[in-house]
A and B are shown apart, each in its own frame.
Chain A
Amino acid sequence: MTFAMLRRGIVYVLLSLAAFVSVFPFYWMVVGATNTSAEIIKGKTSLGSALITNATAFFTQVDALRIFWNSGVIAVVATALTLLVSSLAGYGFEMFRSRLREKLFGFLLLLLSIPFAAMMVPLFVMFSQAKLVNTFTAVILPTIASIFIIFYFRQATKAFPRELRDAAKIDGLKEWQIFLYVYLPVMRSTYAAATIIVFMANWNNYLWPLVVLQTAENKTITLILSGLTAAYTPDYGLILFGTVLATLPTLIIFFLLQRRFVEGMLGAVK
């Protein structure tokens, strides 16, 4: 009894420690936004009075409205297109099996192991030849067909009851109608989880936008923050204020869809 209680106690201590380590940087980020840069690098952990100063500095140095609009447009459009294209493909691979398509799917999974770095240079040359460098189109297009999300949807589709599709066929639905009116609403949780994953990936995407977006007015918040951090003496008060703003959208989505996310993940690993 005492041994079990001791063990339980250790588990609580370790989990609390892990939770503290996980959450502290968020606290730090918020507190830092109210402190001066000098206070931050001296490790001040209490709320300060520099919030207005940091905000003013941020909004004078950064065209915030424009930059957040850029990030938002890219993330929303890319997420919508990725969900559509990749879920169609995942559904297609799972529901309509053929030997050729199985081989193709295996081949795509192999491609998953090829790093983006290997494609980066040819992609850049392609988009510069098409005169699309420094456009959102160039940022979005290569991200739409995601093998990982196709794989994710295919896994989730395995849990979609095949008899529902049979029933819908007998009810007179065409294949695209089955997808639209039966599959899509039934797989809500899967889409919710995929939305989180894809939105975050796009909102936070760094390397490819860094390569392809060149003028300041087209950059995303991620690029701007990175640029500010790279300064010789970074103004951490200003930067952490910007970081709070940049993290808010993903945090909001995360908390709104968290329950759905776990449900969706359950489907993915079945």
Chain B
Amino acid sequence: MSRIVRSPHPFEHFTIDLLNATDEDLREVAETLGLGLNLDELRYIRDHYLIQERKTTDVELQTFDQTLSEHCSHKTFGGVIHTPEGTVDGLLNTYLRGLIDELEPDWCYSVFEDNAGIVDLTDEVGIAIKVETHNHPSAIEPFGGAATGLGGVIRDVLGVWANPIACTDVLCFGPLDYDYSKLPAGVKHPSYIFSGVVDGIGSYGNSIGIPTVNGATVFHEDYTGNVVVYAGCVGVLRKDQYIRNVKPGDNVLLVGGRTGRDGIHGVTFASAELTEESEEVSRPAVQIANPIEEEKIKRAIKEVSERRLGSGITDIGGGGLSCGVCETANSYGLGVEAHIDRVPLKATDMAPWEIWISESQERMLLAVPPDNLEEVLQIFEDEQVETTVLGQYNSTGEATLYHHGIKIAQLELEALFNPPKIERSTSWKPPTLEEPEIPEPDDLGAVLLKLLAAYNITSKEKVVRRYDQEVKGQTVVKPLQGWKAGPNNGAVLKPLDDSWKGVAISSGINPRYGQIDPYWMAAAAIDEAVRNNVAVGGRRISLLDNFTWGNPEYEDRLGGLVYACRACYDVGKAYGTPFVSGKDSLYNESPLGPVTPTLLITALGIVPDIRKAVTMDLKEAGNFVYLIGETKPELGGSEYYHLHRQLGASVPKLDADRSMAAYRRLTEAMDAGYVRACHDLSEGGLGVSAAEMAFTGDLGMDLELSCVPTSEEMRDDFILFSESCGRLLVEVKPENKDAFETVMTGSTVAKVGEVKEEATLTVRKGGAILVELPLEELIGAWKTPLEVPR
């Protein structure tokens, strides 16, 4: 006899009898209802209903399914993990949130507890920030997946009452020249995904009128089957606008777009591996974007927020209403009564469970006290946004749902949000890798030109220009510098009309290092993000983590993840940079295997006076060029090795204490006005960085390799292309030479060159000229390879 029985109600609704259900029965129920719950979770639910002494319903089981999914509950980051070095009770609490308790920053306003992290800009004003992934949907439907990814993260920022002012995007694709004949069934070609994702982000961000100010475009074989789309959003709010005070009797107000069948089981899909059938099975999981709807919502919420009329807010994203409604009730220690049939629909024949879990876009949930309801409804009406009062919060501790007056679910929130922690074990062994033997090249200039044209270094102008970078007129340091459009280290925004205070946004990502060592990959990503931030004038930096990893149920993948988290803790502590928000995307596996372990670090810094912000272009002939930091023979995972199709083993190992000390001194030098230009050294090392500074500023540079501080005797090509962490090039006026050197005392720093009028980059060692190239040729190489397919 089937355990699933249709209810007598005049709409689709089922009761499910889980009493004495065997594992086999449970699996069958899960499969019939399309649930992603594992056996342990199903047993937990069965036992819960045994105590409740009643049958469950489809709506209830679907709610458990959504809430317990990896996407919503982050059970891997919350679970107990047995590692060779001991047991970790929660990666998030131990390493990421744990850092906050350790550092005790008094400028973190709200971290890891809401839709977005909030830090102080001034005493009264806070900056909210969140970065999300939208990988799985983008693999299936690149345009829609990427667009809704951006839409979702903007709602996260709205979901802390903040007004969004900027977006970020970091995109990771397979090689654009990937051999079509090697593509497995179900995997779309990187160039198709690339154009769809770039257009999707552009279409959403441009239409809603939020500038995209920072990002990266990265290429790696492993992203062929697992495209990675990171979208971030920064918002601003007065801190007293951050109201979270929901009381029994407050209204549950749904605002925004209508609910449809787009985005059913999105979180279940996001918490599973991609397969050949994903296209067909999971297409409905990808939502459809309507940026103008969100633009209207944004205006209305800004108004409600400024007038402080709501008592709580959250976005409707993964898990749909089921998560939004239940999570808010649970987080305020309340219960809730909601009427599903009031939800405005795109398709009128939807079953209640579908309405309840649909992830249709552009919807937000507000809690509104009865006295303010009329005013709030008027605000949304003025912006032409549809609103629905779904029900009220109460003090029952339960979510009770009705459809046309008939009770269809009664969920005990305590049980819903406190499932048993998962327990897993790890193993991770360093891969056996060797240092390649690469013959020393005769012509370093030719190598430099090749590196500038490498996909991971080449100009991303053709992507960046698709996005509005300066709408709102607050982008002070833009992603591309000046008329030559060189790559700035980070963006600087001026969010307040009446203050010169700014925020700096930057990022760090090193996919190739992850194949050598996830710990040092994570350390390098944090360093890169922080260094980029410091380079434009940022300080008091907070970080966001976004892990993209393979299936954590495999011990090696999880082992690597644990090491990466440890690096976050270690480096975060040494740098004094707390994590304020984050998001993990696991299960990035495709027929081509797991994704390369990827950690995106986003850094948010404060710039006390944007008039002192620093860009990377050379400013004036005759100025001196200094190199901060030590160069080591660390080319494992470098672009230089990659030119030779080698990975190598000598991954850059960050010396966190020395690096941070140097950054602090550099900041001091910037404040004193000694720094005319500053650029970080990353992919392609010193050679690429020097070339970028020169051609962006349209000024030549003389570089003397024998002056570069190295840890040991090194080959010229290694000095020029090593990717050691912690290094920056700085331009200083001759008259500030002594003052600059005094400020930098204690750190590794050396004058390595000069700015010249003549438009060439010249690299010498002793008397010998190693590289002599016109700027035009350098910028030509840098701008050539990446064509946006049209």
Q: A and B from one assembly?
A: no
